[in-house]
Each structure stands twice: as structure tokens, then as C-alpha cells.
Amino acid sequence: MTRHVEPEVFLVARPQLDFDELARYLHEVGGESWLERLDRDQLTPQDLAEFAGRLCYRSFEPGLNPNVNRIRTDQDAYLRNILASSHGSVLEHISFSFVLHNVSRVLTHELVRHRPGVAISQESLRYVRLADIPFWFPDWARQDPELMKRASELLDRMEEFQTWAAQHFGLDDDGADFGLKKHRTSFMRRFAPEGVATGLVWTANVRTLRNTIEARTAEGAEEEIRLVFNRIGEIMRQEAPSLFGDYVVENGAWIPAWRKV
């Protein structure tokens, strides 16, 4: 029986800063007063963005750089200026890792087009044998009885083939060779639809996240990837409000105040 699944997003990793090492570096170059504005027990990814930006201009405090007579002391204002001035390179130091669960290979094929600043580890259907065909149906499709009947019949046949092929190849027989299992499983995956649900770890830096959220929530983007990146946008606005708070959401499209950062 066809199993409907919903795409899910899990934030599984975020940057971790070392207060003592920051302090050791600032002791060498000056600027220890900047650390006084931070909470050593609650350092955030935004602190890393600010640190990287200030290092570029040696602007941790006035006087370190003779060209800098005054500095912004409010982090939110400082990071807004980073965005407004398109100083996006400092955002590349901040990476977040997500598990995208029950997303289709339609989505993953589109996602691989975003390559800079990204790392991907995807479930391998060469090794992971399909016992069923988990599948996401958008709401409009689920409201069409005839469409659902015909689509479910197709998916049921594909599931039946997977079960039949595993038995035909003896993949669960005692002593079945793993090399044979891998070879036959690789063949069997060819009879699964592109919409079969899969999973991957997707890591991206903030600069890439900003561009991808904008591109993949745009009105013309594919509907599943729009759904997923709306959720990623919501997560990032909570994680780094100063770096993602400039977006306005209109009909599901995330529109930044500053583009091409």
C-alpha cells in the first residue's frame, strides 16, 4: 500500500566558537574589549560573522586601525551593515547542517545545482534496498480522487516489483553475498520513481543559504523545494535573526532587502 510521507527538516549542527581562543588571538592584536560584549557561555553564529568582519578592518575597538576612529558597538547594526555593503565573504565561515528527510529525488536533483559552499551526503539506493515507495503528494493532488487512484496503482505495482525482485534474486537467502546484494539492489532502484522519498545531510554556509532560500522559495520554484526552504528560512530566522531578519515573505517567497550578498 502506498505510504504518503511529509518532507521534514532537522537542524543537526551549527557553529561552535571557542571563547578562549578568540581571547588569545585578541590579546595578540588588541581588541579584548570586544569580548566584553559577548557572553562566553552563549556564543552564537552571529558572533563569528561579526568577528570575521572586524578582523578584516581591525575594528574590534577604536585606535587599532588608525583609519578607524569610531565603531559600531551594536551587533545587529553591525551585521545589517555587512549585508547592506555586500560583504558576504565573512558569512561563508558560518555553516549549518540539516537533515532533509522524506524529500524526493526530484528535490535532490534540483538542490545539487547549488554547489558553492555546500556539502552533501545522500542516502544511497545502491546499498539501501527499497521495500516500499514512500511518496509525497501535495495537497491539491490528494484532493483529486481519480488522480490518487491511478497514482497509487502505479506505485503499488512498483512496490510489488521490488518485493518480487528481492525474492527472485534471493537477496534474503542465508549466505547471500553482499556484493550480489549491492549489484542487484542497484538494478532494482531503476524501477523506482524520481519522486521516491529519500534523505540527505545538507550543509551550507550562510552566504549560500541566503541565496538558496531566495531562489528556492520564489513563486516559480518547484513546490516541494519551496515547502522545504520555507522551513529552512524559518529555522534560520530563529538561529541568526540579524542575518536573516531582512527578508519579507510574500506568498511564500522569501525576498531579502539585500541581494547577492
Q: Which of 224, 229, 227 lies closest to 214 in space, CA to CA? A: 229
By the 8 A CB rule, do 205 and 45 touch? no
Calculate mean pLDDT across residues 53-70: 90
Span 94-123+197-250: which CATH code? 3.30.70.3180
Distance CA 190, CA 2 (A): 18
In this prediction the pTM is: 0.93
Strands 197-205 and 95-104: antiparallel
For 57, the grid coordinates are 578592518
For this structure, is 216 an active site residue?
yes
Confidence band for 63, pLDDT divided at 50, 70 and 90:
confident
Question: What are the pLDDT digits (tens) for 191-226?
Answer: 999 999 999 999 999 999 999 999 999 999 999 999
> b/e map of 107-125 (b: 16 or more CB within 10 Å)?
bbebbeebeebbeeebeeb
Distance CA 26, CA 35 (A): 9
CATH 3.30.70.3180 domain extents, the chain: 94-123+197-250
Q: What is the DSSP letter of 102?
A: E
Give the pLDDT confidence score for residue 122 in this predicted structure.
Answer: 97
Question: What are the pLDDT digits (tens) for 84-100?
Answer: 999 999 999 999 999 99
Pick the catalytic residue: 105, 210, 216, 226? 216
Angle, in degrees to the nearest 10, between helices 178-188 and 145-168: 150
Distance CA 248, CA 145 (A): 36
